[in-house]
A and B are shown apart, each in its own frame.
Chain A
């Protein structure tokens, strides 16, 4: 397909899509109106379980099974990336040297921001049921905080502070914990992912039953996932190098070249 034909097909597709979307939007309830049937049902369910943060209640209580699937998607993607970014044929891992100059102001900022970010992450994660935030957000902030060390120019320090094997296990443990909490709901309550713990008082730190526990499980998975992902990409960029072919006269046979020739 030439570029010209592709652009014509694209233009036709965009016009058709835009027209169908315009037709769909004119048939929808008025924008910003007060007709939100799902909202009303979800708010009632949130109140029934004394959870202050309605979004957390929906994610971890009302549709916990969906969130389990979502967590599994993340888990599988990380496994896929880790499998794709191994050192492959004719590649080797080299030691990353501590070359390069880092501004002292950058260093200072990292020393100042690193503990602050970790505390913020734990705060966001722990209060997921009562304030905006939760496991996903807290996990991302925590992993970002740990990678501030890399911004400070210290790949070796990052590697010391980030024992990758722990995070591999932490990721799996988070998924297992999430599933175990769901099965506990089935064993003690009425259904899979049922909220079986007494919910307490709306707005309290210890309230809303299983939601904070789910938040912790998701936080573990998300933090470990982002760390494993970024570790794979950093490793690829910094440590893995293609081996030089020692004897240029003899072309080594490789599976790839055979594959592309057929």
Chain B
């Protein structure tokens, strides 16, 4: 049994979460969210791994019966990366707006509710 890859995935995610909770700068918070999401890439690819499996690109060398790693989770990882990029850009734009309106990007100094 080998849980090493899963351990790495969960560690990356928890590091990101810890970074978000202790962040003193909103840009740092957004980057930490990206780090936490990177943990899911490792987890997805680890789930689809097979010892001796090759990349799922078929051709002369790789046939129907050759063991390949799971292409489904790789496609999901691609989706994950695109969504992560979209979320990061959206959040960074929000941080710029917050910086303009409050002259502060420390989450602890943005406690007051507006409305």
Contacts and interface: CB of A to CB of B under 8 A. Distances in A.
A21 B72 CA distance: 22
Nearest to A80: B90
B93 A81 contact: yes
Contacts of B58: 46-47, 51-54, 202-203
Contacts of A47: 58, 64
A259 interface: yes
Contact of B100 (A10, A88, A202, A203): A88
Nearest to B65: A43
Interface in A75-99: 76-78, 80-81, 84-85, 88
Nearest to A50: B58
A34 B90 contact: no
B38 to A, nearest CB: 16
A95 B86 CA distance: 29
A14 B39 CA distance: 14
Interface in A89-117: none
Nearest to B66: A43
A45 B87 CA distance: 32
B64 A39 contact: no
Question: B46, B56, B90: which has the most chain A beta carbons within 10 Å?
Answer: B56
Interface of B: 1-6, 10, 14, 17-18, 21-22, 46-51, 55-60, 64, 67-72, 74-75, 78-79, 81-83, 85-87, 89-90, 92-94, 96-97, 100-102, 108, 112, 114-115
